[in-house]
């Protein structure tokens, strides 16, 4: 993950619009059997192992959608709903929910099932990640718009826009607070 978002793109008048891509064009599932190497001190799968799988699947989706490299800009709302155990077959399902000019939100669902049973998989986690598409020099580059194909895709797109609004408002509030503290001579 990167600590800083890439620098903003300069205005580019005259650049033609990039054709959109449907959600299904980049949707992916990453599956992995959990082993003893993945456990924490409690004997369940370490949350960091799940987070890495989430970031890997989301990165693959972001790269597919944007047609090139994309870096993790942020991860939010990572929720662990149930513990994952050794022997579980974990499926990490990811898709692009929303796109901006150079960034995209990827939604991820984490499911687990016993590798040797035929019971249905249960959801054990979820997360939302924001990726920035970058060129070979690490500068932001434009991404195609995402085209919702189903009502579920449209709902996810609307929810992603709400999360984006909240992320931007939170960032603005923090910057304003820090500027005020600096103006008041308060050092951190």
- DSSP assignment of 106-117: EEEEEEEEETT-
Q: What is the pLDDT of residue 76?
A: 85
* Within a domain: 2: no
Q: What is the pLDDT of residue 16?
A: 61
Helix (H/G/I), strand (E/B), else coil: 178: helix
36: nearest Cα among 46, 50, 28, 22: 46
Structure-token pair, residue 68 = 């090139």
Q: CA–CA separation, 149 vs 145, rounded Å?
A: 13
C-alpha distance across the termini of the chain, in Å? 25
* Within a domain: 9: no
What's the domain count of the chain?
Answer: 1
Spell out, as residue ranges, where the chain has pLDDT lower than 70.
Answer: 1-16
* Within a domain: 43: yes
Q: What is the pLDDT of residue 155?
A: 97
Q: CA–CA separation, 30 vs 110, rounded Å?
A: 10
Helix (H/G/I), strand (E/B), else coil: 58: helix
* Within a domain: 12: no
Q: What is the CATH number of the domain that holds 33?
A: 3.10.129.10
Sheet containing 70-80: order of strands = 28-33, 88-99, 103-114, 122-133, 70-80
* Within a domain: 173: yes
Q: What region, left, alpha or beta, does residue 37 occupy, with left being phi > 0 and alpha being psi -120 to 50 degrees? A: alpha
* Within a domain: 1: no
Q: CA–CA separation, 108 vs 95, rounded Å?
A: 7
Q: What is the pLDDT of residue 117?
A: 86
Taking the model in full, what pTM does it have? 0.86
* Within a domain: 145: yes
Structural domain for 152, as ranges = 21-184
How confident is the model over 151-187, as pLDDT tens digits?
A: 999 999 999 999 999 999 999 999 999 999 999 999 8
* Within a domain: 15: no
Q: What is the pLDDT of residue 70?
A: 97
């Amino acid at each position: 993950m990167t600590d800083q978002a890439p620098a903003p793109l300069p205005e580019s008048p005259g650049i033609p619009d990039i054709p959109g891509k449907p959600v299904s064009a980049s949707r992916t599932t990453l599956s992995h059997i959990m082993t003893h190497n993945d456990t924490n001190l409690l004997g369940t799968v370490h949350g960091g192992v799940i987070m890495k799988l989430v970031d890997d699947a989301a990165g693959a989706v972001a790269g597919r959608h944007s047609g090139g490299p994309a870096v993790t800009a942020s991860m939010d709302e990572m929720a662990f709903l149930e513990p994952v155990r050794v022997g579980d077959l974990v499926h990490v399902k990811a898709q692009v929910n929303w796109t901006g000019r150079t960034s995209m939100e990827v939604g991820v669902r984490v499911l687990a099932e016993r590798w040797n049973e035929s019971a249905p998989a249960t959801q054990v986690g979820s997360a939302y990640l924001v990726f920035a598409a970058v060129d070979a020099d690490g500068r932001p580059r434009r991404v195609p718009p995402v085209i919702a194909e189903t009502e579920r895709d449209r709902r996810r797109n609307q929810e992603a826009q709400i999360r984006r609004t909240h992320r931007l408002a939170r960032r603005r509030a923090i910057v304003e607070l820090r500027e005020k503290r600096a103006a008041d001579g308060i050092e951190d």
